[in-house]
């Protein structure tokens, strides 16, 4: 029995891992002369290139020649930065892809001063760590697992004192989703070790992701090895060579105790332990042990498969160690004849990067301007607006909070040696208020697009070589308060756009045209009124009379490529509304039949509906242009006077809420069926986000809006609140908040800024509801909202209380944990930390594969001991010790 569930188990289902390719690898030898690039590292076979293509500042250096035999080739050169406070590498990456990022610093007395540098290392706009090389003769290395939110990643060195920042190598390795999990933030490596009494370091090509595994051993341990093959395929893709050795306590009757001190000491910690039984056990032999971390969490009776298969245990949520550090114990149980065993161990600390980068559209625009004019201002590196103390010179930004991207509001390029024309990309700075391009050598016309930037209050184009006429639209903006300075451009005609006589000549035909238009409008209105009086009014007394603004000219009609039914036909198909299926915010839903064969569901607008014609029209327009197997199909509609109806395909198994709660026949949905339904719904939502043109946000994802057909295939329904969202640089829509309490994205609620990640939040709530079968909000709970309640259960390791008790624990623990982790990532407070729906679909499919395989693996943890290594770079001070 478990006292507390500390760790989650990952089943060893097969995962296709890329062969020995270096696809996506970024390997930079800093300071390497361009003529020596690229080359293949003799010790790993990895191809390194010069950093000169991604950094235009700094100077090249080489470590002391006496050290050349000690270090690998990529560390013999370096780049140092004597000028500027911040110097950055701008790297092209795949957004929302997890990367293992490793940076190496070897001073090597390159400058002959024998003064070790101290400086800060930044990842984008956020501080990663401080690099203090004092006393590190062998250099130092920092590694982090991080997911960039854009296609560009800045790694920056920031000068903080008298010493000069420097760097030796930068290495990025893309990781497959699911190998490591964090609810938010990034994982900074404390250590990654395999248990062996050797000096060999294991990395690429043994590890396809080029993770570096350092040997770990101590006199208090006994090593065991095997030459037999080990099935290492699985989520974590641990190299087989890492698993061919293991350690047990030297005294077989005593526990294996591992301790380490995280930095900072109050950091939240993730631990991953890898186990494989590499001894052939006799029939009467048994290896079983308890895993205890800091006396607070226990996994009891952990055992390892006997077939040389990998079994990985990891902390289901970050944990905090006490004031003396982290203490991990593997304790032999009374039923065990053999001591505990461990093959490899990884530990990470959680690093939160709270800053949201500068608006992508502003960032792209300012980088384009920088490239167009070849601006070499040394401060123009990294994020333009963040951190504020390092924002770009001659540029000013607006800041709201850490969740809202800063915007560029002022750009001063006066006397910057600019030549050529004014580039159109400037109009992408949509929030800019002041633009100063004075005292340069700009030529060409004054562009009309400047008048379209509504936020501009000051434009200074004085003392250039501009020519031609000034656009009238720009001159007119002066009446709105725009300050326009054009002096010092001798070839510029600022006044020939004023043509008063033409205005007089234009007035008469304009007035005549307006009068004609008015007459036409009046005639059309009269015809409409007379036609409306002739419409039959045979509605039953219960039909609505409110919110019928669609009969006025303010609500244009919409085209239809579906069947439009009359109200009489709707009465006939529903047998005069004889069988009600349910009732929602729109109105009552009735069962119907078309042509005596095709069953349909007919939704009528009720008098008390809070939605009305606007939402009716939105739903019809959306469903007329979208087609997907996981979206409910629109058969037709009725729009006749006050009578509004939507006619859908009939879904005989009702909605998901009824089945999860047991209100639909009392049959309990299995965990496998719930996962299939979740995959279906996720596919429908993914289609709305990526398959529609323009993309759509549903805005009301909840269990009652997920309907089930006769074979329990799920389809999304109720699109009355749906909105399109931008696909360009603007990533959100400002709109009045709409949705269902409990499912509503808190970031959207507080900011009115709608993105597709608002749907992701709601879908995360649906996943929690599917898993727990508990109310979204229950005031009697210690944590009323389901997100807070599940989070508290995760911290206790209490998976039994999270899952629906009606399932009677009939599920694969690995698939459940992965689903819980996915759901909690979806409901992250910051929308930028949530996955997109494509990743949600993939993760749910992996859960389903794991559930189908029913691998029967369990979670656990592992020990460590003092490290003996022959690396040329110092490891972190956080390495563990064994007792």
What residues are labeled active site?
700
Compute the distance between CA of residue 104 and CA of residue 111 in angstroms, rounded to an integer: 18
3-state secondary structure of 620: helix
Phi, psi of 609 (to 5 degrees): -60, 135
SS3 call for 558: coil
Q: Rounded distance, CA 669 to CA 561, Å?
A: 38
**Local structure of residue 534 (DSSP, 8 states):** H
The CA–CA distances, whole Å, from 278 to 155, 305, 855 equal: 42, 10, 19
Evaluate whether 437 touches 410 at the Cβ level (below 8 Å).
Answer: no
Supply the DSSP symbol for 414.
T
In whole angstroms, what is the distance from residue 465 CA to residue 69 CA? 60
- d(C-alpha 801, C-alpha 820), whole Å: 13
Cα–Cα dist 232/726, whole Å: 44
Please give the full DSSP string across 702-725, using - where no structure is assigned. Answer: -GGGEEE-TT--EEE---TT-EE-
Interatomic CA distance for residues 397 and 384, integer angstroms: 8
Spatial CB neighbours of 254, under 8 Å, sequence gap ≥ 6? none
Token pair listed for 769? 């509801």
How many whole angstroms separate alpha carbon 288 and alpha carbon 309?
Answer: 16
Whether the link from the prior residue into 205 is cis, omega within 30° of 0, is yes
Question: With the C-alpha atoms ordered 270, 276, 282, 283, is the resulting torsion angle positive or negative?
Answer: positive
Note whether 158 and 120 are within 8 A (CB).
Answer: yes
Please say whether the beta carbons of 447 and 467 come within 8 A.
no
Q: Judge whether 603 is annotated as a binding position.
A: yes
Strand partners, 881: 259
**For residue 340, how many C-alpha atoms fall within 13 Å in the half-sphere facing its CB?**
29
Q: Which residues contact 604 (CB under 8 A, 6 or more apart)?
A: 543, 570, 577, 587, 588, 589, 590, 643, 644, 645
- CA torsion sign for 728, 729, 730, 731 is positive
Q: Which residues are documented as binding site?
A: 603
Q: Which residues are documented as binding site for ATP?
A: 603
């Amino acid at each position: 029995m478990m006292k507390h569930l500390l760790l989650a188990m990952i089943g060893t289902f097969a995962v296709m891992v890329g062969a020995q390719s270096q696809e996506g690898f970024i390997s930079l030898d800093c300071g390497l002369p361009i003529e020596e690039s690229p080359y293949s590292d003799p010790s790993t076979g990895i191809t390194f290139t010069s950093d000169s293509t991604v950094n235009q500042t700094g100077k090249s250096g080489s470590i002391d020649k006496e050290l050349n035999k000690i270090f690998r080739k990529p560390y013999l050169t370096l780049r140092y930065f004597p000028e500027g406070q911040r110097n950055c590498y701008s790297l092209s990456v795949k957004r929302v892809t997890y990367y293992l990022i490793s940076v190496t610093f070897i001073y090597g007395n390159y400058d002959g001063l024998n003064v070790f540098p101290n400086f800060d290392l930044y990842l984008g706009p956020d501080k990663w760590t401080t690099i203090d090389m004092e006393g590190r003769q062998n250099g130092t290395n920092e590694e982090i697992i991080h997911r960039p939110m854009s296609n560009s990643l800045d790694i920056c060195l920031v000068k903080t004192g008298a010493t000069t920042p420097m760097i030796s190598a930068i290495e990025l390795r893309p990781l497959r989703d699911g190998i490591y999990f964090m609810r938010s933030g990034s994982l900074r490596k404390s250590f990654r070790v395999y248990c062996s009494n050797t000096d060999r370091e294991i990395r690429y090509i043994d590890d396809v992701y080029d993770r570096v595994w350092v040997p770990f051993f101590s006199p208090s341990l006994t090593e065991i090895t095997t030459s037999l093959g080990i099935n290492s395929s699985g989520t974590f893709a641990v190299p087989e060579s890492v698993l061919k050795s293991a350690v047990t306590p030297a005294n077989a009757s005593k526990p294996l105790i591992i301790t380490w001190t995280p930095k900072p000491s109050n950091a939240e910690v993730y631990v991953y332990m890898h186990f494989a039984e590499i001894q052939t056990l006799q029939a009467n032999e048994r290896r079983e042990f308890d895993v205890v971390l800091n006396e607070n969490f226990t996994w009891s009776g952990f055992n390892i498969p006997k077939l040389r298969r990998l079994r990985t245990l990891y902390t289901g949520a970050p944990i905090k160690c006490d004031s003396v550090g982290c203490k991990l114990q593997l304790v032999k149980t009374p039923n065990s004849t053999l001591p505990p065993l461990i093959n490899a161990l990884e530990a990470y600390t959680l690093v939160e990067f709270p800053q949201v980068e500068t608006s992508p559209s502003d960032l792209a625009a300012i980088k384009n301007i920088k490239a167009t004019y070849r601006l070499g201002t040394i401060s123009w590196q990294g994020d333009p607006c963040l951190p504020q103390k390092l924002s770009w010179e001659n540029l000013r930004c607006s800041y709201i909070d850490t969740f809202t991207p800063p915007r560029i509001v002022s750009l001063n390029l006066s006397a910057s040696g600019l030549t050529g024309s004014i580039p159109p990309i400037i109009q992408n700075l949509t929030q800019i208020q002041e633009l100063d391009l004075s005292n340069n050598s700009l030529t060409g016309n004054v562009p009309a697009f400047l008048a379209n930037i509504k936020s501009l209050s000051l434009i200074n184009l004085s003392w250039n070589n501009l020519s031609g006429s000034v656009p009238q639209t720009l001159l007119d903006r002066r009446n709105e308060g725009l300050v326009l300075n054009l002096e010092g451009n001798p070839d510029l005609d600022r006044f020939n756009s004023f043509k008063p006589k033409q205005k007089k000549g234009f007035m008469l035909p304009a007035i005549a045209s307006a009068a004609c238009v008015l007459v036409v409008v009046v005639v059309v209105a009269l015809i409409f009124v007379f036609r409306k009086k002739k419409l039959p009014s045979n509605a039953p007394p219960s039909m609505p009379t409110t919110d019928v603004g669609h009969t006025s000219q303010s609500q244009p009609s919409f085209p239809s490529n579906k069947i439009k039914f009359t109200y009489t036909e709707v009465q006939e198909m529903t047998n005069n509304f004889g069988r009600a299926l349910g009732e929602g915010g729109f109105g009552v839903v009735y069962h119907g039949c078309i042509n005596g064969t095709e069953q349909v569901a007919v939704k009528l607008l009720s008098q008390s509906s809070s939605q009305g014609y606007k939402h009716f029209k939105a739903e019809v327009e959306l469903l007329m242009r979208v087609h997907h197997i996981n979206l409910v199909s629109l058969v037709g509609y009725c729009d006749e006077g006050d009578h509004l109806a939507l006619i859908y395909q009939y879904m005989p198994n009702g909605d998901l809420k009824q089945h999860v709660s047991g209100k639909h026949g009392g049959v309990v949905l299995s965990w496998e069926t719930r996962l299939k339904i979740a995959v279906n719904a996720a596919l429908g939502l993914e289609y709305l986000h990526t398959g529609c043109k323009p993309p759509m946000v549903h805005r009301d994802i909840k269990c009652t809006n997920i309907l089930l057909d006769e074979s329990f295939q799920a389809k999304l329904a109720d699109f009355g609140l749906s909105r399109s969202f931008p696909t360009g640089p603007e990533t959100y829509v400002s709109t009045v908040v709409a949705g269902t309490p409990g499912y509503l994205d808190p970031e959207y609620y507080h900011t009115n800024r709608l993105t597709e990640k608002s749907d992701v939040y709601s879908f995360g709530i649906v996943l929690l509801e599917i898993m727990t079968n508990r109310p979204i909000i229950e005031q009697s709970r210690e944590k009323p909202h389901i997100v807070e309640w599940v989070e508290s259960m995760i911290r206790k390791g209490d998976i039994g209380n999270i899952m629906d008790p009606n399932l009677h624990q009939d599920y694969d623990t690995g698939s459940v944990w992965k689903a819980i982790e996915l759901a909690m990532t979806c409901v992250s407070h910051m929308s930028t930390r949530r996955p997109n729906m494509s990743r949600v679909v993939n993760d749910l499919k992996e859960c389903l594969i794991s559930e189908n395989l029913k691998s029967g693996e369990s979670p656990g943890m592992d020990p460590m001991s003092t490290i003996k290594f022959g690396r040329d770079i110092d490891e972190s001070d956080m390495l563990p010790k064994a007792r």
